């Protein structure tokens, strides 16, 4: 595995692969890699000849009171994991390589509507930071395919929209959420949880599956389901930011054209903000598959 921290040698190396007809898959990460990230890497490996992983804790997507400084940085362990997975190229730039003129005057990529609500309204500017850095990374790596986790379902939807709107010639592939045995979605931020909060954390996933099962059984009063779920989370010890039943394609309210429902939640346990989601196809043929293990 070759590690690059500067754009020019990375681009030269990737150019050689491209000229010899190799297809490049890209997995952008912020490091502190867990099984969920490694699932993305494995998917990338299945799809292309060359796998490029980036590790960059992007300051532009953190709010002023968020955990940028505390965000776990575990480069040596991450490198070992990527090496074992057969990754050929690691790109690990410093902040100055990505934002050579600082972040104040940086051009911003903004995806309206999709990026302005749910996590976008709780974390103002967050998705602008994500889409801006992902655009930069796409331009640097120029992958054929880029792989993202479905755990960050809103992020995945926003990246798909950005790529379509800006005619970026990149296929975006989503990978199913990786979970601990008790259902908790794997996340670098799970490491912040106290033992007591770790015990409570799987309630988030259980509340999502209960809601999905109620809808699958025909219960269609979504406002009631959402408020019941929020109450349930509060009783368990969470402070919910949102619990919303939406159209999985548009992330807007469910309507007659909805083919798939996404139930999305963000909730705090102490200072740790957890997000998760689950989906339910309204197409009877694929319902069984979704209920049997969808996300």
Residue (203 or 275) nearer to ligand PAF, CB: 275
Q: Tell me the closest approach of the beta carbon of residue 167 to ligand PAF, in angstroms.
A: 20
Interface of this chain with ligand PAF, residues 18 to 77, rule: CB under 6 A: 28-30, 58, 61
Interface of this chain with ligand PAF, residues 113 to 152, rule: CB under 6 A: 130, 133-134, 152
Q: Tell me the closest approach of the beta carbon of residue 222 to ligand PAF, in angstroms.
A: 28
Task: Assess whether 37 carries a catalytic annotation.
Answer: yes
Residue (120 or 229) nearer to ligand PAF, CB: 120
Residue (61 or 295) nearer to ligand PAF, CB: 61
SS3 at position 179: strand
| Residue bearing tokens 């880029």 | 146
Q: Tell me the closest approach of the beta carbon of residue 37 to ligand PAF, in angstroms.
A: 8
Nearest C-alpha neighbor of 78 from the set 92, 66, 68: 92
Determine which one of 6, 34, 37, 228 is catalytic: 37
d(Cα 146, Cα 24) in Å, to the nearest integer?
9
d(Cα 204, Cα 225) in Å, to the nearest integer?
14
Q: Tell me the closest approach of the beta carbon of residue 134 to ligand PAF, in angstroms.
A: 6
Helix extents (H) in the chain? 7-19, 35-47, 75-84, 95-98, 119-122, 126-141, 153-165, 195-200, 203-216, 222-236, 284-293
Please give the structure tokens belonging to residue 148.
């993202």
Residue (55 or 211) nearer to ligand PAF, CB: 55
Nearest C-alpha neighbor of 85 from the set 145, 40, 38: 38
The residue ranges that bind ligand PAF (CB under 6 A) are: 28-30, 58, 61, 130, 133-134, 152, 155
Which amino acids are annotated catalytic? 37
């Amino acid at each position: 595995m070759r590690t690059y921290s500067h754009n020019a040698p990375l681009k030269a190396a990737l150019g050689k692969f491209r000229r010899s007809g190799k297809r490049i898959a890209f997995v952008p990460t912020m490091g502190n890699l867990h099984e969920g990230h490694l699932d993305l890497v494995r998917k990338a490996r299945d799809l292309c000849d060359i796998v490029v992983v980036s590790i960059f804790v992007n300051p532009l997507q953190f709010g002023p009171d968020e955990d940028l400084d505390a965000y776990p940085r575990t480069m040596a362990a991450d490198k070992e994991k990527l090496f074992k997975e057969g990754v050929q190229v690691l790109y690990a730039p410093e902040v100055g390589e990505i934002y050579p003129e600082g972040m104040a005057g940086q051009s911003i990529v903004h995806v309206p509507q999709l990026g302005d609500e749910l996590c976008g309204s709780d974390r103002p500017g967050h998705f602008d930071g994500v889409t801006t850095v992902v655009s930069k990374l796409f331009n640097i790596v120029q992958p054929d395919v880029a792989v993202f986790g479905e755990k960050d379902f809103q992020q995945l939807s926003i990246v798909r929209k950005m790529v379509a709107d800006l005619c970026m010639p990149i296929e975006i592939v989503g990978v199913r959420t990786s979970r601990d045995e008790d259902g908790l979605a794997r996340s670098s931020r799970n490491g912040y949880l106290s033992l007591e909060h770790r015990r409570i954390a799987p309630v988030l996933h259980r509340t999502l599956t209960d809601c999905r099962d109620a809808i699958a059984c025909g219960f269609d009063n979504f406002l009631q389901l959402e408020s019941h779920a929020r109450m349930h989370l509060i009783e368990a010890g969470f402070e919910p930011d949102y619990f919303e039943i939406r159209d999985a394609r548009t992330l807007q309210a469910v309507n007659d054209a909805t083919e798939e429902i996404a139930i999305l939640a963000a909730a705090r346990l102490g200072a740790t903000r957890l997000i998760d989601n689950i989906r339910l196809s309204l197409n009877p043929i694929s319902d069984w598959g979704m209920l049997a293990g969808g996300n």
